[in-house]
Amino acid sequence: MRLEGKTAIVTGGASGFGAGIARKFAAEGAQVMIVDINHDGAMGMAEELGAGSFGHVANVAVSADVAETVATARQVFGEVDILVNNAGVTHLPKPMEEVSEEEFDRVFAVNCKSVYLFAHELAPFMKQRRAGAILNIASTAGVSPRPNLNWYNASKGWMNTATKAMAVELAPHGVRVNALNPVAGETPLLASFMGEDTPEMRAKFISTIPIGRFSTPEDLGNAACFMCSDEASMITGVCMEVDGGRCI
C-alpha cells in the first residue's frame, strides 16, 4: 500500500502502459482518475479498479478539456497528489519528409502540448501545497532515435528535456518530476512503431532488446509506482529507462 491515501490522474489510462500504471496505483491504495479519449475504455477501466476510482473523457491536447479535467479531479478528490502524463500517439514509420503537417501537429499536440497544458492547470495547486509528483511517460525513441520515426523521436526527446526543466523549477516548491523511457510494448501503438505487426517484425525488434522481450504494462506500473511514491522522495529530474537494456 505504498500509495495509500494518494490521488492520481493517469492520462491514456484505458489501455496499454496507462492501464498497467492505473492498475498498479489502485492496487497500492491510490484513487485513480482514468483520463482517456475513449469513453468506453475509461469507464471500463474505472469499473475494474473499483471504489475510489473513476473515468473521465478528455482530449489531452485541448486546453478546455484539460482545464475541465483538473477541475473535476480537484472537485472529486479534493487535491491531486500524482499526475501521470502517459497519453501519446505516433506517426507510421516513414521518411521524415513524408510525414504530413497534420501528422506532425497531432504528435506534438498529444505528446508535448498536453504536458504543458496539465502543468499550466495543476502546477499552481501543487506548488501551493508544496507537494506532488509528476511522471511523464517518454520513450527510448527519445534517447536512442530510430530511423523513420523522426518526429515521434523528437517529441519524446522534448518530453525528457521538459521533465528535467520542470524538475529543476518545481523542486524548491516540493514538487518532483520524473520520466520513464520504455521500449516498445504490448500497447495499441506497437503496430505503428513496427510498421506491421508480424512474427518476423516482432522477432527482429526483440532481437535489439538484451533482456529479450518487450516492455509490459506491469513493468511500467511497477516503475511508476516507485517513482511516484514517498520512497522516491529524493529522486527528481530522472529519465529512467525501462527497456531491458535497449539503450545500452
Over the stretch 7-48, which tens digit does the pLDDT of each residue have?
Answer: 999 999 999 999 999 999 999 999 999 999 999 999 999 999
pLDDT the model gives residue 184: 83
- Catalytic residue selected from 17, 118, 152, 214: 152
CA distance linking residue 189 with residue 198, whole number of Å: 14
The model's confidence at residue 164, banded by pLDDT at 50, 70 and 90, is: very high
pLDDT the model gives residue 232: 98
Compute the average pLDDT of residues 62-80.
98
**Closest residue by Cα to residue 86 from 25, 149, 6:** 25
Query: Domain segments of the chain: what residues?
Result: 7-242
pLDDT the model gives residue 229: 98
The model's confidence at residue 202, banded by pLDDT at 50, 70 and 90, is: confident
pLDDT the model gives residue 204: 84
What superfamily would CATH give domain 7-242?
Answer: NAD(P)-binding Rossmann-like Domain (3.40.50.720)
Q: pLDDT digit string (tens) for 81-135?
A: 999 999 999 999 999 999 999 999 999 999 999 999 999 999 999 999 999 999 9
pLDDT higher than threshold 90 for residue 199: no
pLDDT the model gives residue 201: 81
Name the region of 246 (left: φ>0; alpha: ψ -120 to 50; beta: rest).
alpha
pLDDT the model gives residue 122: 98
Query: Distance between the two ends of the chain, CA-based, in angstroms?
Result: 33
Which set of grid coordinates corresponds to residue 110?
Answer: 498529444
Q: What percent of the chain has pLDDT over 90?
A: 87
Q: pLDDT digit string (tens) for 166-198?
A: 999 999 999 999 999 999 877 766 776 666 778
Compute the average pLDDT of residues 46-62.
96
pTM for this one? Answer: 0.95
152 catalytic per annotation: yes
